[in-house]
Structure 1
Amino acid sequence: MKRKYLMAVLACSLCLTAASVHGMAATADSAKTESKEETEEKNTEVAEAETEAKETETTTEKASEAETEEAADETETETKEEETEEAMERPTYKALDFVTLGDYKDLVINQKDLGLPDVYTDEEINEYVESSLKSIAASVDGVAEELTEGTVEEGDTANIDYVGKKDGEAFDGGTAEGHDLTIGSGMFIEGFEEGLVGVKIGDTVDLNLTFPEGYKNEDLAGQEVVFTVTVNSVKRVPEITDELVSTVTNGDFSDLASYTEYVRSYMDGDLEQQKTSALHDKAFSMLKEASEINGYPEGLKEYTEAFIQDYYEASAERYGMELPEFLEKAIGITEEEFQKELVDMAEENMDLELYFNAILETEKIEITDADYELMAQNYGYESFEAMYESGGDPIKESAYLNMIQAKALEALTENVTVQE
């Protein structure tokens, strides 16, 4: 469901400072430019009106009345802002009054259940090296040969249009045009890239595929789908040499060996992060199965719904858009659909918040000012005050949610035994 894209309030809650929405930068700049021009025009009109107002007593009286009405409007606005601030005050509560936590002190998880290898093999490292270099080279002018005839080969970067359908209906995130895909990169589900090898440039094929059982989108996990793919063109990179490596990396790497070592280090570090994330997910899933939420603190539902609403409105404003336009361009849903999902989103976020806080209370762990300062520094800010100024209350709330999540999951997994 589209909620999967919306349910990012806890999981990626600092995207107000680092959000990247494809194709939105130009739109935002355009919107801001138009807004600036409109403001300047309105300011000019107001200035002219004020000049004319001074010429006659009648106009002066009207201006006075307008000022009185404006003052009343300002008072009303301030009152509404005060009411909003009051409504947005975070409720205080003790999570253990609402959560019955299961025993998590002796959780045992099998390493195989995490679905990750212990280490990457040399073959896997080399495959990634070749795929990444060819992908980079395809974007560098004069390096790759662009073909409009022939067939797709392993290692080619194919420019494709595709539509993914489940039960005959296009599903979210399964459609794109002009997408560059390096064959063999493993960026798409199993069978997609392999199914394009040998396809003629200009042809359209149907790929009957199945999403893996553990796919992150639960609506697609284990489901049979059909991708209709058109191959528009192909870029083919010559044999990888030390000279090619130096060229496509702008001299950052002088030869294939140094680039391979860099990739190995990156992939090893990424694998450790994946293991930690998978361990967190598995342990938390086991905890939820053994626990129960008995109710919600007074005011938390209203607060959470308001936060989610404000969060997306602030994101829209950052790109110079109204909420409906932002939802359509960034997530692909209407405002009406968003409002329907809001209640369920709030409940899911409340559940997570209560579980995390219940763990912290059990472990007697508190969130301190030093934690806020450290988080700000990790995101490149001099202080949390500077970070707060960049986004206001949504940033503060997001920082809080991020910290209780990180600290709770860390405490949870400290009590987990992983069996080989």
Structure 2
Amino acid sequence: MKKKAVALLLCVSMMMTLNACGKTNKDNTQGTETVAETETEVIPSSADITYDAGDYVSLGDYMNMEVTLDKDYQVTDDMVKNYVNNNVIANYPYYVESDKTVVENGDVANIDYEGLLDGEAFDGGTAQDYDLEIGSGSFIDGFEDGLIGAEVGKETDLNLTFPEDYGNSDLAGKEVVFKVTVNAIKEKQDITYDTLTDEYVTYLSDKLGASYETVNDLTSDIRTYLEEQANSSRTQAIRSAVIAKLPEVCTVNALPDGLLDARMQEYLKKFEDTYCKDTTLEDYLSSTYNTTVDDFKTQVQSEIETELDTQLILEAIAAVENIEFDEDGFNSYVSSLLSSYGYDSEDALYENYAQTAEDGKAYLQTIYLCNKALDRVIENTNVTYNAAEESTEEAAAAEDITETEAATEE
């Protein structure tokens, strides 16, 4: 079963990194049988269960931990080169105008076009200054072939029919007319990172509305972007490694009475409300993930137990280190979550983590405090990097990045 289903509600911010936490030696008195019994019991909200984390956790030497990452997250020249080739040039090929006046197969035609359905322009059917490679199959059947023989500066009408299986149901199978004007015929220039020119960079800037003027402008900005991404990945990798290490030096001996059951109930209720509005949980899990309710609950319980282990350890650390909750910091934390995940309001955010906004806020306040404790631990952790195992991974990493922010930021 795909774990993303279980991850729907379990984690936020640092809790999203719990996928590698180790097991603890706790007295697990709330096993699967107890969880099954919750279907008929009235269980309190997890926010209403009070406890002192120190009563359940034996803390070890958490301030002198060592973790090793499998790479050092340095941005290399090869990574910049691969990004330019695979993300910039591949998406923005270099076309220069030719002196040709009649379109042939294989040409790049710069066109303005307007699509009409029953005489009216339809959404998505109009563009100006569009570079279309004739024969690429980018447009519906007949569009590109219909431009072969078209002359620069003249309008051509294309009477076409959208495929029956076209993605837009308003256009599928419909007869339309495209009015197309060929502005110029261009030739595609062979260019790579090694042959970048200031002329291409200026061309790219015009396309993007950017302000690059030289090759150095472009490559420096891309390097900065890649370094920002690498630093973010390094930070997240350290957090994950530290969270995974904590159970090796700290032991959760038991969970507070009722806490596991309450979290299970809250998760399952929210899951069903989100995914099972028109079906049963059993049918949804079977058709979507090919799993049973019992197997699903077993996985959910395992994930929640892991989350609770880490939460209790960090709550205990916060108490020992006198790390206190601060309203201003929490408000900033909530604002960042609202911005990152697109919630309409604070209540909508809170309700994603509990049955009520009040309980959800209480949960996020706990997670915020845990994050502060985690930050304190990370500050005192010795991080080393196993660069020997990187080999070609860093060079290949740039190929996996599909965003083009570096080329679009001014």
Give TM-score, length-normalised by structure 1: 0.50
- 2:72 corresponds to 1:108: no
Alignment of 1:270-309 (within 5 A): 270-309=229-268
Residue 369 of structure 1 is aligned with which of 316, 327, 345? 327
Q: Which runs of 5+ in 1 are unaligned?
A: 16-82, 149-235
- How far 1:100 sits from its partner (Å)? 0.9
**Equivalents in 1 of 2:14, 2:71: separation in Å?**
27
Residue 376 of structure 2 is aligned with which of 387, 407, 411? 411
- How far 1:303 sits from its partner (Å)? 1.4
Relative to structure 1, the CA distance from residue 282 to residue 247 in structure 2 (aligned partners, 3 Å threshold; closer, same or farther) is same
- How far 1:134 sits from its partner (Å)? 4.1
- 2:291 corresponds to 1:339: no
**Equivalents in 1 of 2:50, 2:264: separation in Å?**
16
- Indicate conservation of the 8 Å contact 1:103/1:287, yes or no: no
Residue 87 of structure 2 is aligned with which of 129, 132, 142? 132
Cα distance per residue 1:274-324 (max 9 Å; x no partner): 22222222233332112221111011011111222244345448xx87675
- How far 1:354 sits from its partner (Å)? 1.3
Cα distance per residue 1:361-386 (max 9 Å; x no partner): 221212233233112222457xx994
- How far 1:256 sits from its partner (Å)? 4.6
Query: Secondary structure of the residue that 2:66 maps to in structure 1?
Result: strand
Query: Secondary structure of the residue that 2:131 maps to in structure 1?
Result: coil
Greater relative contact order, per chain length (Cα 8 Å cut-off, separation 6+) = 2
Corresponding position of 1:157: none
- How far 1:98 sits from its partner (Å)? 0.8
Relative to structure 1, the CA distance from residue 376 to residue 346 in structure 2 (aligned partners, 3 Å threshold; closer, same or farther) is closer
Alignment of 1:20-419 (within 5 A): 86-87=44-45, 89-109=47-67, 113-117=68-72, 119-134=74-89, 136-137=91-92, 142=131, 239=191, 241-242=200-201, 245-246=204-205, 249-251=208-210, 253=212, 256-313=215-272, 315-316=274-275, 324=281, 332=289, 336=293, 337-380=295-338, 386-389=345-348, 391-392=350-351, 394=353, 395-396=360-361, 399-400=364-365, 402-418=367-383
- Indicate conservation of the 8 Å contact 1:95/1:354, yes or no: yes
- 2:12 corresponds to 1:3: no
Give TM-score, length-normalised by structure 2: 0.51
Relative to structure 1, the CA distance from residue 9 to residue 119 in structure 2 (aligned partners, 3 Å threshold; closer, same or farther) is same
Relative to structure 1, the CA distance from residue 84 to residue 371 in structure 2 (aligned partners, 3 Å threshold; closer, same or farther) is farther
The number of equivalent residue pairs is 258
Moved more, 93-102 or 272-281: 272-281
Relative to structure 1, the CA distance from residue 373 to residue 145 in structure 2 (aligned partners, 3 Å threshold; closer, same or farther) is farther
**Equivalents in 2 of 1:327, 1:260: separation in Å?**
48
Query: Secondary structure of the residue that 1:105 maps to in structure 2?
Result: helix
Q: Which runs of 5+ in 2 are unaligned?
A: 16-40, 94-126, 138-187, 193-199, 354-359, 386-410
Q: Rg: which structure is higher?
A: 2
Cα distance per residue 1:218-275 (max 9 Å; x no partner): xxxxxxxxxxxxxxxxxx9953632552365354656654332222112112222222
Relative to structure 1, the CA distance from residue 260 to residue 358 in structure 2 (aligned partners, 3 Å threshold; closer, same or farther) is same
**Equivalents in 2 of 1:325, 1:255: separation in Å?**
60
**Equivalents in 1 of 2:218, 2:283: separation in Å?**
39
- Indicate conservation of the 8 Å contact 1:93/1:297, yes or no: yes
**Aligned amino acid, residue 142 of structure 1:** D
**Equivalents in 2 of 1:330, 1:406: separation in Å?**
37
- Indicate conservation of the 8 Å contact 1:105/1:415, yes or no: yes
**Equivalents in 2 of 1:315, 1:305: separation in Å?**
15
**Equivalents in 1 of 2:64, 2:234: separation in Å?**
19
Query: Secondary structure of the residue that 2:347 maps to in structure 1?
Result: helix
Query: Secondary structure of the residue that 2:311 maps to in structure 1?
Result: helix
Query: Secondary structure of the residue that 1:239 maps to in structure 2?
Result: coil
Relative to structure 1, the CA distance from residue 323 to residue 137 in structure 2 (aligned partners, 3 Å threshold; closer, same or farther) is farther
**Equivalents in 2 of 1:254, 1:279: separation in Å?**
37
How much is the aligned-residue C-alpha RMSD, in angstroms? 4.2
**Equivalents in 2 of 1:11, 1:144: separation in Å?**
46
